[in-house]
Amino acid sequence: MIEPSTVRFASAGIYAVSAVVLLALARRKPADLRRYCYPFVAVVALAGVGIASWGAGIGTFEVGTGTLEGGQLLTDYVAYPFLFGFAAFVAGVSRRYVGGIVAITVAMRVGYDFAEVFAGPLATAGTLGILVGYVTLVGLFFGPVASAAARQAPARELFYKKTRNLALFAFGVLIAWAMLQIAGLFDPFTATVTLEYLDLLLRVGFAGFVFANVETLAAETESGAGGGDGDIERTASAATAASSAD
């Protein structure tokens, strides 16, 4: 059977190639859009470094009844909060909302670590933190964040919906994987292959999707839906013109 370290080294190679391709694509974007692309290049490149370190056994340390991998922690604690924070940014919400969503994502990742390396109440608390955090994210992304996106240009609102759906779906599958892994239902090879596939989807797949749609971030924000300030101003202008004509 193929060793998990071999799978991780292969995955690191995919990340390295993907980072180079994404960097080339980012440089072909208009200058004002590159600032949205470069962070994704960095996330993918960092993932390659982290996974390679994990495969080499660098940064492994014991905590509680298990072990944590420094390379995995480095990539996960950077990638997951960034992806969900970016989805909130696309919606045009305030920094407070973006910060809250990032904090919830970090708390969920901490919950996984607790469930992985501890037993008893701490493991239970970690599992509950993952589930409650995910439900909270779903509520935010389909509630106030979606309302903010509805006030953006139609193209940007559509971009938000696709970004939100991709992030929530991929992360939901990742949570299901984590629950099965914690329950011990995967052998080491299966666990490694499935995790690397999901992580590639969240990092490289997400980046590719954003690159293909990043032009929508240049769309002007609409002043609001029907009946908003823009409609009021247009109505007032029309009334003034009519009075002048009389």
Q: From CA 209, how far away is CA 160, in angstroms rounded?
A: 12
Model pLDDT for residues 150-193, shown as the tens digit of each residue: 999 999 999 999 999 999 998 999 889 888 887 778 888 888 99
Domains and CATH numbers, the chain: 4-241 (1.20.1070.10)
Model pLDDT for residues 112-165, shown as the tens digit of each residue: 999 889 989 999 999 999 999 999 999 999 999 999 999 999 999 999 999 999
Sequence-distant contacts of 151-156: CB under 8 A, at least 24 apart: 151/92, 151/221, 151/222, 151/224, 151/225, 152/91, 152/92, 152/219, 152/221, 152/222, 153/216, 153/219, 153/220, 153/221, 153/222, 154/222, 155/216, 155/219, 156/90, 156/92, 156/216, 156/217, 156/219, 156/221
Kindly indicate the confidence band of residue 218, based on its pLDDT and cuts at 50, 70 and 90: confident
Kindly indicate the confidence band of residue 44, based on its pLDDT and cuts at 50, 70 and 90: very high
Q: Mean pLDDT of all residues in the chain?
A: 87
